[in-house]
Amino acid sequence: MCDTLIALSDATSTDANLFAKNSDRPPNEAQLLDWIPGGEFQAGQKVRCTYIEIPQSQQTHSVLLSRPFWMWGAEMGINQHGLAVGNEAIFSKIPANKQPALLGMDLLRLGLERARTAPQAVEVITSLLEEYGQGGKHILEGHSYYHNSFLVSDPRESWVLETVDRHWAAKQVGPVYSISNLLSLESEWDLSSDGLEEYILKHGLAKSREKINLTGNFSDLIVTTFADGKHRCARSREKLKGDQGKHTVQTLAAILRDHGNSTDPRPGLSGADICMHASLGPIRVSQTTGSLIAALEADSPLVFATGTAAPCTGIFKPFWVDVPLDQGKLPGGQYEPETLYWSHERLHREVLRNYPERLASYREERDSLEEEFISGAIAVHGGSHSERKAYSASCLAQAAEAERRWLAAVLEIPPKPIFLHDLAWKGFNKKAQLQTY
C-alpha cells in the first residue's frame, strides 16, 4: 500500500510545489535510490522494461528513482525538469491482467524519462497504457496483481490519473491533494480514454450515464476496504489542509511518519497507517520501504529521500537530479549490512521490538540532524555540481554514523514483546537472514 501527496506553491511557505510519497511493499523487498542519466537513442532501439520490450524514445531525461531492487520501473521519482510521479495500487471489479505487460511502475518511469511536464506525462503514460496494457506480477515473491493510479506533478500543476485495464481518467488538482489505494475521481474528470463511459455501461457497472461514478463503478469493495486507503487518504488530506499555506519539507516528512493517534504502530492484524509497519498476515504484510519528498523546481529540483524503510525510524537525506548519485553497493532481498537499505533495516527492526522507548532514545537527535541536512541543502542549492555532490555524500556518511550510534543505544533498552507481531517479524527476518529475535 502507498500514499502520495502534493502541496502546490499556494499551500507552501516557499515558492516551490512540494511532492511526497511513501511506498509500501513486502518488508524484504529492498528499495533503492537509482540515478539514471538522460540519453539519446537511435530509431529502432528497444528498452527492456520489467517484463516486456517496447520502442525506446529518441531522447530521455535524467531521473532519480526509488525502486524495488528487482524491478525496472519505480515506485516514485523525479526528473531533471522538476516533474515528479508516484503511483498507487488500486483494486477493481474488473480483474487485473496477470499476463506480462507494463507494470504501473514501468509506466511511471517511462513518464519521467519521456516527459517534461505533468500534462505531457499523463499523455505519455496513457498512450503507452492503451498500446501495451498494464499487467504482470507486482511483487517478487507471491502473487499480487492490480491496476494503478498516479499523482503527477511539475513546478506549475498537478494531475491525478486513475486507470483500470487500458481505460483511464485524469483530473487537474490542487492546491493540496493526496491519493492512496482507492479510486477517488468519482464523477468528475477533465480527460479520459475514448469509450470510457461505454465500457462502464457495457460491463453493467452503472445503470445510466447519469449514474456513472468511477469510485462506485470500479472499486472492489473487499480488497479496497482491507487496504484501508480511505482512512489513510482522509488522514493525509486532513494534515495537508490543516497546515495549508505553511507546508515545508518538514511538514510533509511529519505526514509521511504519521501513525494516526497511536504511539506504538505494532498492535493489530489489520488496518494501515501512512507510515506502515508489517505484522502478521494475510492483511498487514507490507511496510513502508521507501520515502521521498521533492521541491519541484524546473532547473534544479531538490530531493530528500530516506533510501530506507520506515521513515519514522530513519532520516531524510538531500539529493539533486542533475548530480550523479553513488550510494555504494545496491541491496537485494537478503540482509547485507554494507547497503543503505539493510544497514538501516537492522535499526528499524530492533526499534520495533519496543517502539515507544527505543525510538525515543534517538528521535530528538535524528530530528536535529535532519534539520541540519535540510537547511544545509538549501544553503548549497545554488552551488556547483561538485559542492552539491559532496554535501549529499557528507549527509549520507553522517547518517550512517548516527544510525550506528542509535542502534547501540536501542540495544541497551529491553524489548517489550507483542506475540503475534513478533511472530510475523521472526518469519520476515528468517527469510532475510537477519537475526534480531
In a domain, 164, yes or no: yes
Q: Which three cell numbers stand for residue 325?
A: 548519485
Only one residue has cell 503475534, namely 420
The Cα–Cα gap between 74 and 67 comes to: 4
In a domain, 15, yes or no: yes
- Choice among 2, 233, 275, 312 that is catalytic: 2
Residue 226 clears pLDDT 90, i.e. is over it: no
In a domain, 410, yes or no: no
Write the burial class of residue 192 (CB in 10 Å: 0-12 exposed, 13-18 middle, 19+ buried): middle
Yes or no: say if 101 and 135 are a contact pair by the CB < 8 Å rule.
yes
Q: In total, how many domains does the chain have?
A: 1
pLDDT of amino acid 224: 82
pLDDT of amino acid 91: 93
Yes or no: say if 29 and 69 are a contact pair by the CB < 8 Å rule.
yes
Do the strands 39-40 and 59-60 form a parallel or antiparallel pair, or are they unpaired?
Answer: antiparallel
pTM for the structure as a whole? 0.97
Residue closest to 351 by CA, chosen among 409, 397, 276, 428: 409
pLDDT tens per residue, range 173-193: 999 999 999 999 999 999 999
In a domain, 92, yes or no: yes
pLDDT of amino acid 327: 75
In a domain, 412, yes or no: no
pLDDT of amino acid 411: 97
Q: Which three cell numbers stand for residue 104?
A: 504501473
In a domain, 155, yes or no: yes
pLDDT tens per residue, range 96-106: 999 999 999 99
CATH (domain of 302): 3.60.60.10
In a domain, 204, yes or no: yes
Residue closest to 232 by CA, chosen among 21, 31, 26: 21
Specify the range with the lowest mean pLDDT, choosing from 23-27, 159-163, 234-238, 240-244: 240-244
In a domain, 235, yes or no: yes
Residue 269 clears pLDDT 80, i.e. is over it: no
Residue 223: band (very low, low, confident or very high) from pLDDT cuts 50, 70, 90: confident
Active site residue 233: no
Range(s) of the domain holding residue 139: 2-322
The Cα–Cα gap between 437 and 422 comes to: 8
Residue 68 clears pLDDT 80, i.e. is over it: yes
